[in-house]
Structure 1
Amino acid sequence: MSQLPVFDLLSDLRTAFSQHNQVILEAPTGAGKSTALPLAMLDWPEITGKIIMLEPRRVATRSVARYIAAQRYQVNGKALGEEVGYRVRGDAQSSARVKLEVVTEGILTRMIQQDPELAGIGMIIFDEIHERHLTTDLGLALALEVQQSFREDLAILAMSATLSGMALSTLMPEAISLKSEGRSFPVEVIYQSIIGTNSQRSQPWLEPMGAAIVALLEASASTPDRLPSHKSNAFLAQVTSFEGLADKSLLAFLPGQNEIRRLQTYLDARLDHRQYVICPLYGSLPPKAQDQAIAPAAKGVRKIVLATNVAESSLTIEGIGMVVDSGYQRQAIFNPKTGTSKLSLKRISQASSAQRSGRAGRLSNGLALRLWGQEEQGRLAKMDLAEIEHSELTNLVFDCAYWGVKAVNELPMLTVPSSRNETYAWQLLQKLALVDNDHKMTPHGRSAYELGCDPRLAHMMLKAKTLALKNSDAELVGLACVLAGVLSARGRVGMSVNILDHLKAALMGEAAQFSKQFVRKLNVKTVSLDNVIVHATPSSVAFLLGLAYPDRIAKARGNKGYQLANGTGVELPDNDPLTQSPWLVIADFQEGAQTAGRVYLAAPFPVALLTQRLGKGDHNTTDIALSHDLSFLVSSINYCAWNEVKGRFYSEDRRYIDKILLSKTAGSKPERTQVIQTLLVQIRSKGLQMLHMNDKVRQLQYRMKLAMILDTSEDWPDISDHRLLETLEIWLAPYLNDVSSLSQLMKLDCYQLLLNGCSWQQQQRLDTLLPTHWPMLTGTQVGIDYDDTGRATLSVRLQEALGMKESPRLAQGKLVVTMALLSPARRPLALTADLASFWQGPYVEVKKEMKGRYPKHLWPDDPANTQPTKFTKKKTLNAQK
């Protein structure tokens, strides 16, 4: 390990920490930053406290700790947990004696919240900070706060494979920056674009990927002369010419567990099990199976590791010399409208593709096969988005509230969070009474936070405990712990949607660990989880889930569809038994890309829980077994609307759970305020055509719009349709006190109502700048027609425009009027905004054509200097005499 590049920086690092307590280290793949560096630091006498090193993934946390511990065991005989240990959620090998503890980021956040002074800790190392997990960003922010407020002596080392696109130096402006060389062997990158042949499947590229892996394994173990058919395939010819791959194992990157399982099935049917062992690797895999994927393969056997992006960094898998990259990842995009995340299949970034390919060159020369074209590589995004920009922020915001800040940006964060997602998180915590309206943690919220789980589940368990004490029903809080354990566990057994079928899982594995942990924290000593599961009834499960997920109580619509209380549409799998339930409470679902969301865990929901208090009965025999209800979730309103058939307003007493209508009954005569509000709702729904918006009103709107543009010295009101609909309460509502029908609504003088929005001075100025009529020399007052394009048109018979040198100008000369010149029969002859040019040119042709048609009317040779008239030639001459 002393040959690793990071060893060349050890002296500089020690000097840097003697001068400052913040250091930023950029160290590419293979530098030894995750293993050799913390191993060396164990012998630095200047580090007097414990070293905490954060890894972004559980599998890497265990692997790194075990590797460093194994190295130290050769020196001092101390096994894992004595000098070097680790802690991840639900698993730990550590003790008070450890000097180096490798943890996942969420562990550090809890450590800081419980002890802001971090007593006994001398240094915090943030490894792979470029992955930008939510907990990484928050852990760094809290560590910087601790360093600034309580522990100036606390050392912080931020390490990343790349600093490109990161604002670390801005966040830590006084930090000393160092850069290490990487150490990786050459990796030959091959591009092969694959096109799926089966478009019926959700991932048509998956089987071609499997075929490429089989071909790669066969070609790497052969020579060109032994496989002549490969000469016609440029890809296989390139593989067979690459030396040293015959005994190498292969790492394949896929977007998720489902693709891993399907590809494993494909490969199992095509590879000799005596020569190959296939190992899946993903986050929720049991630790033992993860360790198997990382460990060296047996002699004479080649290992095929099918992994998600957990294998991208901080993890060296023994024997890997080949990488096959699908180029896909799954990204969870949170939607605050639905309150859940949508898992989308997306292309990886260029940075991610480089990390993946690099895994082939950790221990020797390697080969990486990218299953897309080389031209597409340049179109990939440079970097992945930080999770804080697109993920759900409820847990992060809960951490912030416990720390005492009222907004995430009060902390020194690397990236500003999504404002919509942060708003949703605060609102949810308020709804659960975990924070107050000022974002201050409530006593209930503080107790919930200390349970160390999802805020919804913590709220459910605490409420269950309160009710259990009141009703001497200890099994209720025990059941809450069981449900929380099942929902907290990452891997679930079975495919059933009904959560009641998963309760037995709380007696084994990770779910059992969580369930028992919650029982201990809630101090429920007399509860037997076995009895709780035996006595659990659908109604008690539904009640508890309703406490945790009130926004996900759902009503059936259609064959398998349901509407959640928050308005979201979801669907059960085909032929699922729960489709017979008129109501459900949904514990887990994902938003669909284009269709309704898919339900993963739910329970039948007795709607009576929302409408009446239920008597306590025998848990074994009575489906309704609760002495409490969820009626506090129901809101009642007096609804008023217009009956189109009967032509009158009516009212109803309605009861809702959020957006789901529970019941309605006829109400009393609507109040005047209700009628007015209903009228405004109708107008907003159907538009301003419900009002008497005649041409006079439209002309006023056009004039006012022009005034706003041409006369900026005055504060003209906006009376556009859009603005009028927005401000109905201001300009219309005060005049609706005597309106009791739609016909009366149409009789309102909207012109005068809108004019009332202008002061008397503005009305006078508007008439001066943009008059409704123009006085002709003949004495005729001709109307000016304004339109939405900003044009003013004067339609007048040509003979009345004689003698006009040019077109009229309005708004102090800023607007030229367009002249629509008409024949004596008031038919269009010409349209011009330049009257002088018209007289000199086009008029000649008009005169030729019209003079024979209208011989009794005046068609002078010099129109610009002729007296205008509104009569025939004879009447005009008589008038002149």
Structure 2
Amino acid sequence: MLAADVFFLNSLPIHSLLAPLRAAFSRHAQVILEAPTGAGKSTALPLAMLDWPEISGRILMLEPRRVAARSVAHYIAHCRQQKVGQEVGYRVRGEAKVSANTRLEIVTEGILTRMIQQDPELTGIEMIIFDEIHERHLTTDLGLALALEVQASLRDDLKILAMSATLSGLALGELMPEAVTLHSEGRSFPVEVEYRPAPTQQHWIDHLGRCVLDLVSASSANVDKTASNNAVLVFLPGKGEISRLQQFLRERLAQDAFLICPLYGELSGAEQDSAIAATTDGRRKIVLATNVAESSLTIEGIGFVIDSGYKRQASFNPKTGVTRLGLKRISQASATQRSGRAGRLSAGACVRLWSQEEHGRMLRADEPEISQADLVAMAHDCAYWGAKSFSDLMLLTPPPSVNEALAWQLLQRLGMVDGDNKLTSHGKAAYELGCHPRLAHMLLSAKSLGANYEQTAQLGSLACLLSGIVEARGLPKKGADIMNYLHFACQGQAGQQAQQWQKKLGLTADLSKVATHAHHSDVGLLLALAYPDRIAKARGVEGYQLANGTGVVLAAEDALSQTPWMVVADFQETEGRNAGRIYLASPFQPSLFDSELKDLLEIHEICGWDEGKGRVIAERQYKVGQILVKTETIAKPERKQIVAALLGYIRQQGLQILNWNANLEQFQYRLKLATEFDAGSDWPKVDDVALLASLETWLAPYLENVNNLPQLVKLDCFGFVANCLSWHQKQRLDELLPTSWPLVTGTSAPIVYDESGRALLRVRLQETFGMAQSPMLAQDKLKVTMELLSPAQRPLALTADLASFWQGPYVEVKKEMRGRYPKHLWPDDPVNTLPTKFTKKKTLGLAQP
């Protein structure tokens, strides 16, 4: 090791924890280490472990990001004065530099999960280090869960070290209750933070560009161009924003004085190394990076940070089954990580493009990826491991139940797990291909089709090319037609991956020839196998409807824009837009539904009401998801279909189309009151909502001979509803809430109930003489309101307290009515007067012996 490296590493804060860490691992198999930015946990610690005599096996260190894994491996190998791939190596998706002599292997992007699945005992591996676990990547959470299970069931000698910049909000202690927890100081210099919010969010990139220009202009006079900390790191949400800012700065900064370097995941290793390394030509470096530069990655010479405060966040939308990209504010923890990059070598400065007040309202920490990700691949991992639910794993955070359910449903639809989420032979073969379950299903299905039909012998190799395109990073812009990228998939890393899939499938075709002779019909077939829910049909003026119901659009100038049917391999929903944008697709032939893809069609027989014909019509619909492919008329629908159509028509139009007599509304009001005052009895609900919901119970049995509207309106529907009550209930209802009240005069006065719960008795005043109180119903729980009428049946008074009426209002009524109706009785003592429905003369005549 070089002397300068020895001095630097020995000065890092983590150095003071090496002895306690060794002691902890001598007694425990699990250690949790909290070490802030600059402590040296990602470099100095694993480097030191290589010289610990008690570790004779291999060390695996998991890094959340590909660029960090490569960078850390190169740095540690340099410190050992070796090339990467000897004692220190790395393995990321599509690239590996390891050998039989590798003792420290840095892995990422699900590599650890695959290693555990292939060798659950992790033969030869003595320690697993989980770096930057606070970032809560999905692969990290899953890798930790599997490693803990391996340690608990198969390898009690396996050592696990979980490292995090902060333990705040992490449930590591609950997941690893026996672990020793150690804390390290960070090593960073003071960073001066300035808040410069954009005047308007519409043009924040221009504001950011001006901030960069202001910073380099103001600091140029104070910073030595040859100083080791004059570089500027700018954090942006994604590749698009980086490209826009890069163009903005190139137009305004001299190329001989400034080196502008983008840094994001899709770049090649050489391009990433260029952004990380120090400049050698005297130019001042400006690095435009996504959040890949937040942690575990040392970019040489950074003394200034400008933080946009944004990140591009992918979140799974369970309604559409796709991942939506949105521009989100970062968390306070991320802001601290980002600003800390300016203080790694000396005092630095950070400009934040938001206000200090807004900073206080930002989330304290980022949400774990498991709470917002597509979980199909993770469910496949679970099934291969033998777990039938995510709850079977020791996860830091449980996933949303709806996201997990959708993941298992898709695996079942692809035939990779059975109804109990147990892995099938098809699912096992698919997992061993090492790609997304959708693509694995396409590869295996293509091989099977190619073996059965001579004309489709190249389907398997074509599927390998398509899978390479879908999984490739940094595709050139050649429109949405996926066939435009077939020759691209024959080269470079994509070509290597396609060849690996070919080898696993036992295929030997020349990929270049396969790309040259490919047909849209075959491409459409293969993509439909992987994405049956994304078969799309043109709709309206513009756009398409996917089988899953989602709306998507294609650029008007794209060559596929007039295609009536297609399969969409890649599209994204963007926050603020009504429809997702198509990025990769292929024309599709619906005739495939009559052959290779006939199993995708779902058959629905429906009956409906034809308003014009006034009768039921029926048809058989063939659908893929929510897309109607074709229909067939059913000449003689079955009786159950006719009944279902009639009930559907009634629900659509409402109960008013049926033949009711006036009793229904009163019946409903009475039953509502009975439910209130006689709670002990099981009274049925007969309000409109309940009746519509239960048509199958009370109406459907009487529709056996009904085929049209005239026949329907002849039915005695009130009688059907009344039959919902038993004989005992009918008697009980009449007892509690009668429809009339018998008077002494022989009159049976009707009682009218209303929606408010009132019982109204309309009666001529003379017939109430002798009544001291208003009648009571429902076992004296409901007082009747009386509408007292004149001899001409006109309202005189409305009262629910007859006793009070006699003592007060009646006096005035009597005075007025004696003059208007002199032939009728208006006694001074109505309570002690016999009631009558006749005039005074007739009443007196009837009273004589």
Question: Residue type of the partner of 1:404?
Answer: G
In structure 1, the partner of 2:129 is 125
Q: Helix, strand or coil: the match of 1:580?
A: coil
Q: Helix, strand or coil: the match of 1:205?
A: helix
Judge which range, 480-489 or 844-853, deviates more: 844-853
In structure 2, the partner of 1:781 is 749
In structure 1, the partner of 2:504 is 521
2:572 to 578, 590, 595: 590
Residue 246 to residue 450, structure 1, CA distance change in 2 (3 Å): closer
Q: Deviations over 1:314-372 (max 9, x none)?
A: 22222222222222222222223322122122222222222222222222222222212
Q: Deviations over 1:750-798 (max 9, x none)?
A: 44434444444444444444545555666443324242xx633425358
Question: Residue type of the partner of 1:341?
Answer: T
In structure 1, the partner of 2:479 is 496
> Contact (CA 8 Å) 1:546, 1:553: kept in 2 or not?
yes
The answer to whether structure 1 residue 600 and structure 2 residue 583 are counterparts is yes
Residue 641 to residue 290, structure 1, CA distance change in 2 (3 Å): same
Distance in 2 separating the partners of 1:6 and 1:112 = 29
Distance in 2 separating the partners of 1:843 and 1:378 = 73
Residue 673 to residue 101, structure 1, CA distance change in 2 (3 Å): same
> Contact (CA 8 Å) 1:559, 1:579: kept in 2 or not?
no
Distance in 2 separating the partners of 1:408 and 1:126 = 20
Distance in 2 separating the partners of 1:222 and 1:857 = 114
> Contact (CA 8 Å) 2:312, 2:327: kept in 1 or not?
yes
Residue 717 to residue 425, structure 1, CA distance change in 2 (3 Å): farther
Task: Note the C-alpha offset of 1:510.
Answer: 2.8
Task: Note the C-alpha offset of 1:162.
Answer: 2.2
Residue 185 to residue 798, structure 1, CA distance change in 2 (3 Å): farther
In structure 2, the partner of 1:409 is 391
> Contact (CA 8 Å) 2:479, 2:559: kept in 1 or not?
no
In structure 2, the partner of 1:487 is 470
Distance in 2 separating the partners of 1:47 and 1:803 = 108
Q: Helix, strand or coil: the match of 2:560?
A: helix
In structure 2, the partner of 1:208 is 207
Q: Deviations over 1:539-563 (max 9, x none)?
A: 1111111111122111112343112
Distance in 2 separating the partners of 1:851 and 1:317 = 108
In structure 1, the partner of 2:56 is 48
Residue 492 to residue 854, structure 1, CA distance change in 2 (3 Å): farther
Q: Helix, strand or coil: the match of 1:579?
A: coil
Q: Helix, strand or coil: the match of 2:450?
A: helix
Q: Helix, strand or coil: the match of 2:486?
A: helix
1:467 to 426, 442, 449: 449
Distance in 1 separating the partners of 2:300 and 2:313 = 28
Task: Note the C-alpha offset of 1:594.
Answer: 3.6
Residue 371 to residue 646, structure 1, CA distance change in 2 (3 Å): same
> Contact (CA 8 Å) 2:197, 2:355: kept in 1 or not?
yes
The answer to whether structure 1 residue 676 and structure 2 residue 680 are counterparts is no
1:630 to 582, 588, 597: 597
Question: Residue type of the partner of 1:172?
Answer: M
Distance in 2 separating the partners of 1:372 and 1:763 = 72
The answer to whether structure 1 residue 368 and structure 2 residue 350 are counterparts is yes
Question: Residue type of the partner of 1:475?
Answer: Q
In structure 2, the partner of 1:440 is 422
Task: Note the C-alpha offset of 1:565.
Answer: 1.9
Distance in 2 separating the partners of 1:844 and 1:288 = 107
Alignment of 1:242-641 (within 5 A): 248-298=230-280, 300-472=282-454, 473-525=456-508, 527-592=509-574, 593-611=576-594, 613=595, 629-641=596-608
Alignment of 1:813-824 (within 5 A): none
Distance in 1 separating the partners of 2:252 and 2:35 = 40
Distance in 2 separating the partners of 1:259 and 1:47 = 45
> Contact (CA 8 Å) 1:323, 1:369: kept in 2 or not?
yes
Question: Residue type of the partner of 2:324?
Answer: K
In structure 2, the partner of 1:26 is 34
The answer to whether structure 1 residue 158 and structure 2 residue 162 are counterparts is yes
**Percent identity among equivalent residues?**
59
The answer to whether structure 1 residue 4 and structure 2 residue 12 are counterparts is yes
- From the CA coordinates, give the structure whose radius of gyration is larger: 2
In structure 2, the partner of 1:231 is none
Task: Note the C-alpha offset of 1:747.
Answer: 3.9
Judge which range, 442-451 or 359-368, deviates more: 359-368
Using structure 1 for the length normalisation, give the TM-score. 0.87
Residue 631 to residue 185, structure 1, CA distance change in 2 (3 Å): same
Task: Note the C-alpha offset of 1:532.
Answer: 0.4
Distance in 1 separating the partners of 2:46 and 2:817 = 100
Task: Note the C-alpha offset of 1:67.
Answer: 1.9
Number of residue equivalences: 836
In structure 2, the partner of 1:235 is none
Q: Deviations over 1:423-443 (max 9, x none)?
A: 221221122111122211111
Judge which range, 849-858 or 690-699, deviates more: 849-858
Residue 693 to residue 86, structure 1, CA distance change in 2 (3 Å): farther
Question: Residue type of the partner of 1:642?
Answer: W
Task: Note the C-alpha offset of 1:582.
Answer: 1.4
Task: Note the C-alpha offset of 1:876.
Answer: 6.9
Distance in 2 separating the partners of 1:870 and 1:265 = 101
> Contact (CA 8 Å) 1:448, 1:459: kept in 2 or not?
yes
Question: Residue type of the partner of 2:566?
Answer: L
Task: Note the C-alpha offset of 1:485.
Answer: 0.7
Distance in 2 separating the partners of 1:816 and 1:244 = 98
In structure 2, the partner of 1:81 is 85
Q: Deviations over 1:497-531 (max 9, x none)?
A: 01111111112233212211111111213x10011
Distance in 2 separating the partners of 1:112 and 1:26 = 25
Distance in 2 separating the partners of 1:856 and 1:373 = 90
Q: Helix, strand or coil: the match of 2:458?
A: helix
Question: Residue type of the partner of 1:783?
Answer: I
Q: Deviations over 1:205-258 (max 9, x none)?
A: 2212212221222122247xxxxxxxxxxxxxxxx9x99999622222222211
Task: Note the C-alpha offset of 1:721.
Answer: 4.2
Q: Deviations over 1:643-666 (max 9, x none)?
A: 211122223343322322222233
Distance in 1 separating the partners of 2:550 and 2:270 = 39
1:649 to 602, 608, 616: 616
Distance in 2 separating the partners of 1:72 and 1:848 = 119
Q: Helix, strand or coil: the match of 1:519?
A: helix
Residue 754 to residue 48, structure 1, CA distance change in 2 (3 Å): farther
The answer to whether structure 1 residue 65 and structure 2 residue 32 are counterparts is no
Distance in 1 separating the partners of 2:312 and 2:783 = 60
Question: Residue type of the partner of 2:649?
Answer: Q
Task: Note the C-alpha offset of 1:306.
Answer: 1.7
Structure 1 residue runs without a partner (length 5+): 198-202, 224-239, 614-628
Residue 65 to residue 674, structure 1, CA distance change in 2 (3 Å): same
Q: Deviations over 1:154-209 (max 9, x none)?
A: 22222222222232222223333333222222222222221338xxxxx5322122
1:180 to 169, 184, 192: 184
Distance in 1 separating the partners of 2:761 and 2:227 = 88
Q: Helix, strand or coil: the match of 1:261?
A: helix
Alignment of 1:222-241 (within 5 A): 222=221
1:97 to 90, 94, 101: 101
Task: Note the C-alpha offset of 1:830.
Answer: 6.7
> Contact (CA 8 Å) 1:221, 1:245: kept in 2 or not?
no
Judge which range, 38-47 or 818-827, deviates more: 818-827
> Contact (CA 8 Å) 1:222, 1:246: kept in 2 or not?
no
In structure 2, the partner of 1:139 is 143
In structure 2, the partner of 1:620 is none
Residue 519 to residue 792, structure 1, CA distance change in 2 (3 Å): same
Q: Deviations over 1:28-72 (max 9, x none)?
A: 222222222222222333333222111111111112222222222
Residue 147 to residue 751, structure 1, CA distance change in 2 (3 Å): farther
Residue 838 to residue 417, structure 1, CA distance change in 2 (3 Å): farther
The answer to whether structure 1 residue 195 and structure 2 residue 199 are counterparts is yes
Distance in 1 separating the partners of 2:34 and 2:810 = 80
Using structure 2 for the length normalisation, give the TM-score. 0.90
In structure 2, the partner of 1:660 is 627
Question: Residue type of the partner of 1:57?
Answer: R
> Contact (CA 8 Å) 2:232, 2:304: kept in 1 or not?
yes
Task: Note the C-alpha offset of 1:837.
Answer: 6.6
